[in-house]
Structure 1
Amino acid sequence: MKSFKTTLIFLIVELSFVLPTPNSAVITCYHLVGNSWEKAQVVENASTHQIKEICNESDEQKQCVEVKGSVKILYEDSFKGIPKLSEIEVYSETNLEEIEPGTFTDLPKLDILDLSGNNLQEIKSGTFVNLKVQHLILQRNSISLLREGAFVNLSDVQKLSLERNNLQELKRGVFQELYVVQLEFGSNNISKIEVGTFASVFPRDEGGIILNLSNNSFTEIDASVFDYKYSVYALMLAKNSISILRPGDLRNLPNLKYVLLSENKLKEVPEGVFNGSKIVSIELDNNEISFIGSKAFDDMKDLTFVNISNNKLKEWNNDWFCGEGAKVIRLSYNYLETIPVEAFTNIPGGSMLKLDHNRIQSISDSAFKNVTYLDSIDLSYNEIQEWNVDLMRNVKTDGAVDLNGNKIKCPESGSNSLAPKARIVYLSYSCPQVIEKALYFSDEV
Structure 2
Amino acid sequence: MGARSRELFLLLAVCAVSHSLVANKTQKDSVSPNALVDQYEDYGDDQEVLFNEDRPCPRDCICTLYQGYKIAKCNRLEVNTQKFGDDITDLVVENADPGMSIQLTDNIFKKLGLHKIATVKIVNSTIDFVSPSAFHGLSELYAVNLSNNKLKSLHPETFANNKKLLLLTLANNPLKFPEYGSDKYFLNATTVQELDISYCNMKYITANTFENMPGLMYLNVAGNNLSDMDPDTFKKLLDLEELDLSDNNIKSLPDDIFSENNELATLHIQRNPIESVYGLNISDLLTLNAGQTNIKFVGPSMFNGMKFIANLNLSGNNMEKIHNQAFHKLVELNYLDLSYNNLTFISSILIKENIELDIFKISNNPLLRHLPVEGFNCSAEQFNIYLFDASNCGLEEIYDNSLKTFTALSVINLSGNNIKSLNNKVFSVCPKLVEVNLADNMLTTLDVKVFEKNNELGKLYLQGNPLKVLSAEVFIHTPLLTWLDMSNTELTSLWKTNKNHPETLLSNLTFLNVSQNHITEIKQNQLDTLNRLRSLDISNNPLVCNREFENLMTWLSKRKVSPDANTARIANLATDAKEEDEPYSWEFLTLKTCGKATVHPVEPLPAVSDEEIWERIDEDAEGNFDLKNTLDDGKVADSKADGKPNDGKVDSDNFDDADDADDEADDEDEDDEEEDDDDASEDYDDGDDDVDLKVKLLEKSSSTPKPSTESPDKEIGVKMAINLLENDSTYDLEREVYVGASVEEEHGRYDYLWPILIAILGALLLLIVIAKVVMVVCGRRNKQIRYNSAIIAAMSNAGRTKKDCGLVYQQLSEELTGPATPKLSRYQPLPSVTVASNMSYESSPFHHSNIVPEAV
TM-score category by the smaller chain?
0.7 to 0.9
2: CA distance, partners of 1:102 / 1:361? 68
Match of residue 268 from structure 1 = 297
Q: How does 1:19-34 map to 2 (within 5 A)?
A: 33-34=51-52
Match of residue 152 from structure 1 = 188
Alignment pair present for 1:117 and 2:148: yes
**SS of equivalent residue, structure 2 residue 242:** strand
1:180 offset after TM fit, Å? 3.1
1:326 offset after TM fit, Å? 2.0
Are the aligned partners of 2:360 and 2:385 in contact in 1 as well (CA < 8 Å)? no
- TM-score normalised according to structure 1 size: 0.76
1: CA distance, partners of 2:519 / 2:150? 63
Compared CA separation, residues 194 and 52, structure 1 to 2 (3 A): farther
Match of residue 457 from structure 2 = 423
Q: Deviations over 1:334-363 (max 9, x none)?
A: 021112232323262343211111111234
**SS of equivalent residue, structure 1 residue 289:** coil
1:89 offset after TM fit, Å? 4.2
Match of residue 362 from structure 1 = 397
Are the aligned partners of 1:123 and 1:146 in contact in 2 as well (CA < 8 Å)? no
Match of residue 342 from structure 1 = 374
1:365 offset after TM fit, Å? 4.4
2: CA distance, partners of 1:284 / 1:404? 26
Q: Which is further off, 341-350 or 310-319?
A: 341-350
1: CA distance, partners of 2:58 / 2:446? 79
Match of residue 305 from structure 1 = 335
1:217 alignment partner, one of 243, 246, 249: 249
Q: Going by fraction, where is strand more abundant, 1 or 2?
A: 1
Q: Deviations over 1:111-164 (max 9, x none)?
A: 22222222333444434435321221211211242472222342243x311122
1:329 offset after TM fit, Å? 0.7
Are the aligned partners of 2:246 and 2:272 in contact in 1 as well (CA < 8 Å)? yes
2: CA distance, partners of 1:326 / 1:66? 44
2: CA distance, partners of 1:407 / 1:63? 61
Alignment pair present for 1:259 and 2:288: yes
AA matched with 1:108? S
Match of residue 226 from structure 1 = 258
1:423 offset after TM fit, Å? 2.9
**Number of residue equivalences:** 400
1: CA distance, partners of 2:145 / 2:219? 15
2: CA distance, partners of 1:331 / 1:312? 10
Are the aligned partners of 1:30 and 1:40 in contact in 2 as well (CA < 8 Å)? no
Alignment pair present for 1:322 and 2:352: yes
Match of residue 11 from structure 1 = none
Match of residue 310 from structure 2 = 280
2: CA distance, partners of 1:101 / 1:165? 20
Compared CA separation, residues 73 and 172, structure 1 to 2 (3 A): farther
2: CA distance, partners of 1:315 / 1:117? 46
2: CA distance, partners of 1:389 / 1:215? 46
Alignment pair present for 1:196 and 2:225: no
1: CA distance, partners of 2:412 / 2:92? 53
Compared CA separation, residues 100 and 408, structure 1 to 2 (3 A): same
Alignment pair present for 1:290 and 2:320: yes
Are the aligned partners of 2:298 and 2:322 in contact in 1 as well (CA < 8 Å)? yes
1:289 offset after TM fit, Å? 1.4
2: CA distance, partners of 1:379 / 1:392? 12
Alignment pair present for 1:444 and 2:523: no
1:395 offset after TM fit, Å? 3.2
2: CA distance, partners of 1:138 / 1:317? 46
2: CA distance, partners of 1:193 / 1:85? 37
Q: Which runs of 5+ in 2 are unaligned?
A: 1-46, 61-77, 471-489, 493-516, 521-540, 545-856
Compared CA separation, residues 406 and 371, structure 1 to 2 (3 A): same
1:166 offset after TM fit, Å? 0.8
AA matched with 2:491? E
1: CA distance, partners of 2:53 / 2:344? 63
Are the aligned partners of 2:389 and 2:413 in contact in 1 as well (CA < 8 Å)? yes
> Identity rate of aligned residues, in percent?
20
Are the aligned partners of 1:215 and 1:239 in contact in 2 as well (CA < 8 Å)? yes
Are the aligned partners of 1:316 and 1:343 in contact in 2 as well (CA < 8 Å)? no
Alignment pair present for 1:331 and 2:362: yes
1: CA distance, partners of 2:216 / 2:54? 35
Compared CA separation, residues 36 and 294, structure 1 to 2 (3 A): farther
Alignment pair present for 1:394 and 2:426: no
Q: Deviations over 1:81-130 (max 9, x none)?
A: 9763433444554332x545455445322122222222333444434435
CA radius of gyration, larger in:
2
Compared CA separation, residues 161 and 426, structure 1 to 2 (3 A): closer
AA matched with 1:258? T
Q: Which is further off, 306-315 or 142-151?
A: 142-151
**SS of equivalent residue, structure 2 residue 195:** strand
**SS of equivalent residue, structure 2 residue 519:** helix
Are the aligned partners of 2:150 and 2:174 in contact in 1 as well (CA < 8 Å)? yes
2: CA distance, partners of 1:37 / 1:332? 60
- Between the two structures, name the one with larger relative contact order (CA 8 Å, sep ≥ 6): 1
Q: Which is further off, 254-263 or 32-41?
A: 32-41
1:364 offset after TM fit, Å? 4.2
Are the aligned partners of 1:341 and 1:366 in contact in 2 as well (CA < 8 Å)? yes
Q: Which is further off, 116-125 or 232-241?
A: 116-125
Compared CA separation, residues 321 and 430, structure 1 to 2 (3 A): farther
Q: Which runs of 5+ in 1 are unaligned?
A: 1-28, 43-49
1: CA distance, partners of 2:53 / 2:222? 38
1:274 offset after TM fit, Å? 3.1
Match of residue 164 from structure 1 = 199
Q: How does 1:87-166 map to 2 (within 5 A)?
A: 87-90=119-122, 92-96=124-128, 98-101=129-132, 103-131=134-162, 132-146=164-178, 148-157=184-193, 159-166=194-201
AA matched with 2:51? V
